[in-house]
Chains A and B, each alone.
Chain A
Amino acid sequence: MSNENKQVKHVTMVGDRTIPPKDARFISIYIMGQRYKVPETLTIVKAMEYAGYQFKRGCGCRGGICGACGTFYRVLGDHNIYTGLACQTVVQPDMILAQTPFFPPNRADHIGLLKSKLPPDEQIATLYPEIFRCVGCGTCTRTCPMGIDVMNYIAFFKRGDVLGGAKESFDCIMCGLCVVRCPANITQMKVGMAGRRIAATRLIPSSAVTRKRAEQVRAGRYEKMLSELGQMDKEKLKEIYVSREREPNLSQPGEWMPKDQSHL
């Protein structure tokens, strides 16, 4: 597309609260193929809002963790496809944006997963046999905006190492960009999630300490304290909140104990 023929759209800032810095330079970006001039310091989300788009629903936490704003983009003159989270990625000159509102994943039926008698590796194989179509092209790894080695965690699941795959896929925020690009039509993120669920229930040893505490809670250990708090007035609550004891940062285990140890 030729830059010269496009109309430059200057949009009045209705509803957008971006106040660009005084000396901020303006750059061109392309949203849905239309060119807009936006301040260069903005993230993609803010830049689109500056340009007059409104995100009404489903996008998102704006903190880089919910996975709703996965974005594909190119830059004029560069044949490569890049990815990023719209809330975290700062706009570049001549960026051409595409949002993926929803790309259908394949989600196998997980009901009965936790009660299944099959060993973990066979569970994954039966839920997601398409992982065996993986060609090892590594496109998923190169697409992931979180820097996860996606191909590697699928490789773990293929060889039956469910715990390894669960650990390797831990940072996944389920943005689904890998799913869009996979030539073998694998839904990597769902496989990772299934793997993490199986690992958590069947492979990672449960903490005896947590179990004990849960039993104590169920036995009513904290009922009195909770009902006291529930009956306190606002001023008293504020007072005890402000004066609460806190463990100093980076304390070593056993180094610090609170004065009031009745709730430990």
Chain B
Amino acid sequence: MPKLTHVPYYPGCSLKTKALGYERSAMDCAKTLGFKMHEIATWNCCGASYPLTKDNLMGLAAPTNILVEAEQHCSERKIDAQLITLCSFCYNTLKRTDFEFKDKPEKLETLNAFLKRSYQGSVKVLHYLEYLRDVIGFDNLAKMVKRDMSQLRVAPYYGCLLLKPHKEIGLDDPEEPVILHDFLEALGCQVVDFPGQVDCCGSYLIMRNPEKVLELSHNILQEANEYGAQALVTACPLCQSNLDQSEGERHGADHFLGVQGMPIFYFTQLLAVALGLDTELHQFEKHCIDPKLVLSTCFEDDAKKIESKK
């Protein structure tokens, strides 16, 4: 059994409870793809939003703590300093903090003095998708796919913070991104390109104006539906929650999407299906719109499993 590459992993608050399926599917897929995600020993919440006003140094305290822990984790094991994330908010916050420290080293000095730590600035923050594209390679990924996904029409939904601001994140073009498209192609799905793929789901407005989130999510889902999608993939627990719960509400209210509804997958959940892994523990049952309903129309063995459980 070849040794799995050790990749330090930062979960973020949501990944242990509300988005546990995202973490589990990502970890299972990682092992098949040749790497192991090691959660760093001590970590705190990243703050979930990068402070947009430059004078707010307190908002950088939490990300700095995380980066210091990651740096220590890597130096103890004598491996390259990097940190993989799943949550788009965490990715955005950590990456932008890192960028700011490189741009303004005096801020790093201040944070180090205040926190009584010494972050050297060496950690490279990665998103899981980035790792798939740049380290594994989508061509290699395609070779490892075990299931025929060609019957499934999936729309890639990027959200906002995975891509913006481009100058600091640099993962992909924010207006016409391709990374999730390429990912889905590698899996063998039919990729549904639709204009709403970079529209905002409403984000934290769910805390104060949930009707706005409902409106924005509804627009995205309706458009995806019009373009022929059966399901969406996303890389952010908040997008997943906003879209899924909005649809659950709408679907219950007036069945606007027909009988089945459109499941919102975490991209690693779909990856696990494609790689032929057991998805029992990937928390499909926690979604408002059950992903398995869509999968069963494509895969006979899944349909049988669902039947046998009834």
Contact = CB atoms under 8 A, between A and B. Distances in A.
Q: Do chains A and B touch in the complex (CB under 8 A)?
A: yes
Interface of A: 121, 132, 134-138, 142, 149, 151-152, 154-155, 158-161, 183
B56 to A, nearest CB: 10
A134 B65 contact: no
Nearest to B59: A135
Contact of A136 (B11, B14, B18, B45): B45
Given A121-B17, A159-B16, A159-B17, A135 B116 contact: no
Sorted nearest first, the 8 A-B pairs with minimum C-beta distance are: A136-B62, A160-B17, A155-B44, A159-B13, A159-B16, A137-B61, A136-B44, A136-B61
Given A136-B65, A138-B115, A159-B11, A183 B58 contact: yes
B16 A138 contact: no
Interface in B22-70: 42-47, 58-59, 61-63, 65
A134 B59 CA distance: 10
Name which of A136, A158, A159 has the most chain B CB atoms within 10 A of its CB.
A136
A155 B42 CA distance: 9
6 contacts: A136-B45, A136-B46, A137-B58, A137-B61, A137-B114, A159-B13
Contact of A152 (B14, B16, B42): B42
Contact of A159 (B45, B61, B115): B45
A135 B17 contact: no
Contacts of A121: 17
A155 B45 contact: yes
A196 to B, nearest CB: 19
Contacts of B15: 159
A237 B47 CA distance: 63
Contacts of B63: 136
Given A136-B45, A155-B43, A159-B13, 16 more contacts: A135-B47, A135-B59, A135-B61, A136-B61, A136-B62, A136-B65, A137-B58, A137-B62, A138-B61, A149-B42, A155-B45, A158-B13, A159-B14, A160-B16, A161-B16, A183-B58
A80 to B, nearest CB: 11
Nearest to A164: B16
Contacts of B18: 160
A135 B62 contact: yes
A26 B211 CA distance: 69
Contacts of B115: 137-138
A135 B116 CA distance: 16
A203 to B, nearest CB: 14
B65 A138 contact: yes
Contacts of B13: 158-160
A121 B115 CA distance: 28
Nearest to A183: B58
B44 to A, nearest CB: 4
Contact of B44 (A142, A152, A161, A183): A152
Nearest to B43: A155
Interface in B224-252: none
Contacts of A161: 16
Nearest to B116: A142
Name which of B11, B42, B45 has the most chain A CB atoms within 10 A of its CB.
B45
Contact of B45 (A134, A137, A142, A183): A134
Nearest to A120: B17
Nearest to A184: B58
Contacts of A149: 42
A151 B61 CA distance: 12
B139 to A, nearest CB: 36
A161 B39 CA distance: 14
Contacts of B46: 136
B209 to A, nearest CB: 18
A161 B11 CA distance: 13
Name which of B12, B15, B42, B62 has the most chain A CB atoms within 10 A of its CB.
B62
Contacts of B59: 135
Interface string B110-130: 000011100000000000000
A190 to B, nearest CB: 19
A151 B44 CA distance: 8
A134 B43 CA distance: 13
Contacts of B11: 159
B143 to A, nearest CB: 36
Name which of A121, A137, A142, A183 has the most chain B CB atoms within 10 A of its CB.
A137
Contacts of B114: 137
A121 B13 CA distance: 11
Nearest to B114: A137
Contacts of B65: 136, 138, 151
A155 B16 CA distance: 12
A158 B16 CA distance: 10
B20 to A, nearest CB: 9
